[in-house]
Chains A and B, each alone.
Chain A
């Protein structure tokens, strides 16, 4: 479905991403996992050309991403931003309907789509449609951001730590909402996170990045069972370590 072929990015001579090659199948969710500065966000942005690759290429459904003008490519690829990036002068409905309107959908179709999506992300349309971003909580804003990313029925969805800034409960609820929608709509997605637990919960496959390079790609259980190097091993051990720490705190017989 989509293929990253030896993608490289240098910023003023500094190598941010090196030789990253990946395949994501239709309907699959691939998590790009890594610490800050690992190159995962840059790799994601090269997919829809928010960052132009220094070398290498991206193919979507067999076509080179440079075959389209950048803005047309981006209308076919949904994007949920880390900082949400809702337009403050537009209502929730206008924000969700932005890409469909750029594609020239007629008003009625946009309205139905927006209401459907608001309902799916758990925001009752009648109540939230006309609200402006500053009238929404952080979690609600992120829900609108998610709805905006999938509004134009994209072939591919890119998500850059979309739940990063939320409190744990809200994050948990949104992760579930997201999983439901993804399954229902059969979305293909690349999901960037540095949160190991999130990666394990959501991913069909995980690609671990470190210092601009791809370290290992595989199903969560493959990575847990046979980490490629010490970095992956340590990363994979974090959820278990945290679980153990919680266990110890509760003490024997606490449950």
Chain B
């Protein structure tokens, strides 16, 4: 709990920066646009329709789409104006959240102005107001409660949706939720949810107080709302300015994907670097799988751990098979030549995509290898993480073994293991180093035809890292080949089953390494 609360100020500040900026941008665009549309009834359906379409895009997808969109725009901006746009982190989240806040504000502005009694509009003209005076003195004041209601709706949405910006690399309260769900740390999830809900409620009340105070002429409410909002904006502005001043030049940014092993490894890399070079490491956690690679390629993060087979299948789109060493070589050459990314080395273990079953169930069906599975598959159901059934590995498995299951279900990877243990499904796609395999009495089925490529855990460095930060790269060489599969599995289990913090597990590992108890790779 204390460990989670220590993270709160940082995450909350980042969350405020995102939401207040997005909300301000949204309101600055939507209110004038709404006024403009309200004067042009013929355009109203088309423009409100467009905003509604944006709204119907699932928020997570909208955030994800912003990454390639901004990358494309960034390339254009770089070519035309020599300006660099960051496609990972704050900017894509800000763009998506601003778009998301458009509709409620736009719609309420149009509705609010449209709902002003025509008799009052005529009276305003009759007493001699110009169009602009009528807008400022009559229409806007009368529409204000409706417009503000739209802003409040947008505020609550944006605060909530901002928790989904973690996978695109923006820090937010969502970091609690994403890493908490993966590492089964329910306290982290609760802290994230409660903080986001509290913030949404606070913003809503402050905006309401400001508006109703102004409308009813209550100085107290007006002052309270105004003071609260101004304080939030001032704090956010100051924090943004400070970050600009202290540009984290010396920070080493370490990415991680959304599962336990990645959090632990990111901690190990970060602590090792801090210990050896004194440079502070900043985790950029819970990135989407391809977002992490894109971020590294673009230099938005300095380091992260990926797996040779993943790069082989999803980035290089290869289907051919090969042994561990040759694939590692090939991946290293490809990354260097195509992307300027450095493969700093393998950590020593593999984390394969594998198929797992309950031990008792496997025995009952006489299944030990995937080859045995083909026979009984038509009577079984398989569960996989969101990616699995779309990945090349699954296609390769189906092709090599002629697998045809009675049903397949996609679910969050943190739920798959419980699903198979609880007999909800018969087979799951598992990660071979996952500690829950042993803990839940599961067995991995042998890939007897070698359909799945090797998955060496490898440390990747962004382009030019070695030239610019040689000491950082040097610090990591001591880790290469030092983590075997058993060790990794135990560390994962410590987090997943025993509820320990990844940072703590990493500290222990490094302490062991220093005292010479670190295990050399056995394979």
Q: Which A residues are closer than 8 A to B by beta carbons?
A: 48, 50, 70-75, 79, 81, 83, 85-89, 98-99, 102-103, 148, 152
Task: List the B side residues contacting A86 at CB < 8 Å.
Answer: 123
- In the complex, chain B residues whose CB is within 8 Å of the CB of A88: 120, 142
Name A81's contact: one of B122, B128, B133, B142 (CB within 8 Å).
B122
- Per the bound structure, the CA–CA distance linking A86 and B142 in Å amounts to 12
The answer on a CB contact under 8 Å between B133 and A74 is: no
Which of the residues A72, A85, A87 comes within 8 Å of B128, measured between beta carbons? A72
Asked whether, in the complex, the Cβ of B129 is within 8 Å of the Cβ of A85, the reply is no
CB distance from A158 to the nearest CB of B (A): 9
**Interface: B119 (CB within 8 A):** yes
Q: Which of B126, B137, B142 contacts A74 (CB 8 A)?
A: B126
A89/B142 in contact, CB under 8 A: yes
Distance (whole angstroms) from the CB of B329 to the closest CB of chain A:
75
B73 CB within 8 Å of chain A: no
Contacts of A75 in B (CB 8 A): 127-128
A71 to B122 Cα, complex, angstroms: 12
Pair B126/A87 contact, Cβ less than 8 Å = no
In contact, A48 and B120 (Cβ under 8 angstroms): no
B120 CB contacts on chain A under 8 angstroms:
85, 87-88
Nearest CB to that of A98 among chain B residues? B127
Q: Please report whether the interface of chain A is mostly helix, strand, loop or mixed according to DSSP.
A: mixed
Residue from the list B128, B137, B215 in contact with A71, Cβ < 8 A: B128
Contact status of A99 and B122, CB under 8 A, knowing A87-B138, A89-B141, A89-B142: no
- Cβ contact within 8 Å between B141 and A85: no
List chain A residues, Cβ under 8 A from B123: 81, 85-87
- B interface list, Cβ under 8 A from A: 119-120, 122-130, 133, 137-138, 141-142, 215
A101 nearest CB neighbor, chain B only: B137
B125 with A50: CB separation less than 8 A? yes
Asked if residues A85 and B126 are in contact (CB atoms below 8 Å), the reply is: yes
Residues of A within 8 A of B137 (CB): 87, 98
Q: List 17 A-B contacts (CB under 8 A).
A: A48-B126, A50-B122, A70-B125, A71-B125, A71-B133, A72-B128, A74-B126, A79-B126, A79-B127, A81-B119, A81-B123, A81-B126, A83-B119, A87-B124, A88-B120, A88-B142, A98-B127
Measured in the bound complex, the distance between the Cα atoms of B122 and A79 in whole Å is: 11
Flag if A148 contacts B127 (CB, 8 Å). Answer: yes
Q: How far is the CA of A208 from the CA of B137 in the complex (A)?
A: 38
- Cα separation A2 to B122 with both chains bound (whole Å): 23
B420 CB, min distance to chain A CBs, angstroms: 64
Taking a contact as CB atoms under 8 Å apart, the answer to whether B142 and A99 are in contact is no
Residue of B nearest to A72 (CB): B128
Nearest to B144 among chain A residues (CB) is A89
Whole-angstrom CA separation of A89 from B119 in the bound complex: 14
CB distance from B159 to the nearest CB of A (A): 30
Residues of B within 8 A of A103 (CB): 128
- B129 contact from A71, A79, A148, Cβ within 8 A: A71
B202 to chain A, nearest CB (A): 28
Contact A102 B122, CB 8 Å, known A87-B138, A89-B141 = no
Which residues from chain A contact B133 at a C-beta distance below 8 Å? 71, 102
